[in-house]
Chain A
Amino acid sequence: MATVETRRLTKRFDSGNAVDGIDLSVREGEFLVLVGPSGCGKTTLLRMLAGLETPSSGDVLIGGRVVTWLPPRKRDIAMVFQSYALYPHLTVFGNIAFPMRAAGVARADVATRVQKAASMFGIERLLQRKPRQLSGGERQRVALARAVVRDPVVFLLDEPLSNLDAKLRTSARDELQQFQRRLGTTTVYVTHDQVEAMGLGDRIAVLDHGRIHQLGTPRDVYHDPADTFVATFIGSPPMNLLQNGRMLSGVRPEQLLPRAAFDRDDAIVPFPFTVNRIEYLGADRLVYGTLDAPRADTKVIARLPSMITLPIETGRRYDFAVRERDLKHFDRESGRKLERAA
């Protein structure tokens, strides 16, 4: 395993900078997730790490070595594509064996290593099948086995779970994380799904328009967002943003609760609102409403856990509030977070 680093990495297209001077540092053995909306540059960044795109400027380093101009095959990396990119004309065995055959590994060794990789993912019985005979989940495992068999220093994964149906996705996520922990290989993972990012990453890099807005642990990114973009991208439903004089104040839906839910000693800020709509989701209720004056017309969402049984009806006004220390403040123009005044 190795570190991965980018220095002022930029990729220019006619329409603008897809990746805009990114400095990224991935630690050894870390599972780093690149997350952001489509078009934010995360896939372009990953492809430059792989050597599938040449940067307009800047450098890529793997294991401390500058690899910016090296072709993919010289970087000692492995990649799993969104579509898995299995070779349709080869059997599963052939697919997994391919990188070793390309490197000229001896025949006997090839067979043993393929067996080992296949058993790691439980696909030994599929070795003689062709990709078109496999289900989506099985193909994904073959792609992973092919990546693992070369014992690379870095894994690059480009949305490998997005082609699976929802149920499969959660179990696949679980397996993926376990297997990465076991191997301990440095991994860079791209996804647009912020739930996936939060669930998988040791650290998350939130990207938009070619720049990293924040790089931190899931906890940091959720509880201490660096700007309004991160604050509203991470977390579903998104954070409520309210005008507050010359600032924007943010409060997460689960922090906006009926006044009665708070202890008497908590310093709270009142946010009374009129309810427009309620969604009953089982474990939670999502309450959509409009605030009273002075912030009339601001729409907010509150998330009430099922523990709170207070009856809520549409059209009525309720006294909700937020703990003062839960409020986040952002600069209105730049969107950046404002450090709390002491």
Chain B
Amino acid sequence: MTHRPLIIVRSLKRTGHMLLLAAFAAFLAFPFYWMAITTFKSTRDLIDTTHNPFLFGAPPTLDNLRVLFFQTDFGRWIANTAEVGVLVTLITLLLAVPAGYALARLSGRWGHRLGIAIFLTYLIPPTILFIPFSRIVAGLGLQDSLWSLVLVYPSFTVPFCTWLMMGFFKSIPRDIEEAAMIDGLSRFRAFVKVVVPVSSAGMLTVVIFTLTLVMQEFVYALTFITTSAHYTVSVGVPTFLVRGDVYFWGSLMGACLIVSIPVALVYNLFVDRFVAGFTVGAVK
């Protein structure tokens, strides 16, 4: 038997493999590619149905972006989202890091169970809680205020981040803390001075994850916020840039792109850790 057929089979397999990957990547990334093209097309180019949408029938333009930044509250929305993001991240760190440590180290058997219970609360979706929340928020006078989001968002970031930190702390060898205790620190000080610095990667994961969750959140923001100046990006873009039946597609797509790509870039660096948190320890 000659070797040639084997080589042909191999290169066919390889090509098939590459084509398959390309097909998936195309399917998953196409909308973003489409967003990019649309962002830079002038409106008359977009509207003209005789033009090939893949090509620039008229020269590419930054007009859509100009409209986006100067004629809408888009900049405002980004600022709002950033504000909420930073505050919620701080709250989440303050709550989830100590809780994760307590569950990982200090609680024995019921600690594991409590950890799972906390994780399960992550599964209670905003779409059950948003109705009672709308009343609670109104009752607290936080209707249409960003503070309502700062109050409510930790309800889904804290459970998952506690779980993440618990897993992370468990992976730190106990004897480093014990060495610190022998070297002269109390348990709490050992936590602050040794465990926390060593788990900086885990905390960074929590920060990134919380920020992306805040950026993605839609339901609560839609329910609690009503005026344009107070929108976050996730809600402002779909609701405001659609005025009646006229869609400012160029600006719309520009907004989507500007927000999505940086988040994607950063998130990409931390994917493995999120997956570890998601897989509930089923994968060691």
State whether these chains interact: yes
Q: Does B184 contact A (CB under 8 A)?
A: yes
Q: Tell me the residues in window 198-254 of chain B with beta carbons closer than 8 Å to chain A beta carbons.
A: 198, 200
Q: Does B37 contact A (CB under 8 A)?
A: no
Q: Does B181 contact A (CB under 8 A)?
A: yes
Known contacts A87-B194, A89-B197, A89-B198; decide if A99 and B183 are in contact (CB<8 Å). yes
Q: Does B185 contact A (CB under 8 A)?
A: yes
Q: Does A307 contact B (CB under 8 A)?
A: no
Q: Does B182 contact A (CB under 8 A)?
A: yes
Chain A residues within 8 Å of B189, by CB: 102
Complex: A50 Cα to B182 Cα, angstroms: 7
CB of A298 to closest CB in B, whole Å: 45
CB of A136 to closest CB in B, whole Å: 16
Q: Does A71 contact B (CB under 8 A)?
A: yes
Chain B residues within 8 Å of A78, by CB: 182-183
Q: Does A85 contact B (CB under 8 A)?
A: yes
Q: Tell me the residues in window 176-202 of chain B with beta carbons closer than 8 Å to chain A beta carbons.
A: 176, 178-187, 189, 193-194, 197-198, 200
Complex: A150 Cα to B187 Cα, angstroms: 19
Known contacts A83-B173, A85-B176, A89-B197; decide if A102 and B182 are in contact (CB<8 Å). no
B181 touches A81 (CB 8 A): no
CB of A60 to closest CB in B, whole Å: 14
Chain B residues within 8 Å of A51, by CB: 181-182
CB of B56 to closest CB in A, whole Å: 52
B198 touches A85 (CB 8 A): no
A150 touches B183 (CB 8 A): yes
A52 touches B178 (CB 8 A): yes
Chain A residues within 8 Å of B186, by CB: 71, 73
Q: Does B175 contact A (CB under 8 A)?
A: yes
Q: Which residue of A lies closest to B173 (CB)?
A: A83
Complex: A87 Cα to B197 Cα, angstroms: 10
Q: How many of chain B's residues have a CB under 8 angstroms from any CB in A?
A: 19
B178 touches A72 (CB 8 A): yes
Task: Find the residue from A72, A89, A99 having the highest chain B CB count within 10 A.
Answer: A72
B182 touches A72 (CB 8 A): yes
Q: How many of chain A's residues have a CB under 8 angstroms from any CB in B?
A: 23
Known contacts A87-B194, A87-B198, A89-B198; decide if A103 and B184 are in contact (CB<8 Å). yes
B179 touches A85 (CB 8 A): yes
Chain B residues within 8 Å of A81, by CB: 175, 178-179
B183 touches A102 (CB 8 A): yes
A83 touches B181 (CB 8 A): no
Give the contacting residue for A85; candidates B178, B185, B187, B193; CB below 8 A.
B178
Give the contacting residue for A52; candidates B181, B193, B194, B197; CB below 8 A.
B181
Complex: A86 Cα to B187 Cα, angstroms: 17
Q: Which residue of B lies closest to A47 (CB)?
A: B178
B184 touches A99 (CB 8 A): yes
Q: Does A146 contact B (CB under 8 A)?
A: yes
Q: Does A79 contact B (CB under 8 A)?
A: yes
Q: Which residue of A lies closest to B176 (CB)?
A: A85
Complex: A146 Cα to B183 Cα, angstroms: 9
Chain A residues within 8 Å of B175, by CB: 81-83, 85
Chain A residues within 8 Å of B194, by CB: 87
Q: Tell me the residues in window 56-73 of chain A with beta carbons closer than 8 Å to chain B beta carbons.
A: 71-73
Q: Does A222 contact B (CB under 8 A)?
A: no
Task: Find the residue from B173, B179, B193 having the highest chain A CB count within 10 A.
Answer: B179
Chain B residues within 8 Å of A73, by CB: 181-186
Q: Which residue of A lies closest to B178 (CB)?
A: A52
Give the contacting residue for B173; candidates A85, A103, A150; CB below 8 A.
A85
B180 touches A98 (CB 8 A): yes
CB of A157 to closest CB in B, whole Å: 12
Task: Find the residue from B180, B184, B186, B198 having the highest chain A CB count within 10 A.
Answer: B184
CB of A81 to closest CB in B, whole Å: 4
A98-111 Cβ-contact flags toward B at 8 Å (1 or 0): 11001100000000
19 example contacts (A-B, Cβ-Cβ < 8 A) are as follows A50-B178, A50-B182, A52-B178, A52-B181, A73-B182, A73-B183, A73-B184, A73-B185, A85-B178, A86-B179, A87-B179, A87-B180, A87-B194, A87-B198, A88-B198, A89-B197, A89-B200, A98-B183, A102-B185
* Interface residues of B, Cβ cutoff 8 Å to A: 173, 175-176, 178-187, 189, 193-194, 197-198, 200
* Interface residues of A, Cβ cutoff 8 Å to B: 50-52, 71-73, 77-79, 81-83, 85-89, 98-99, 102-103, 146, 150
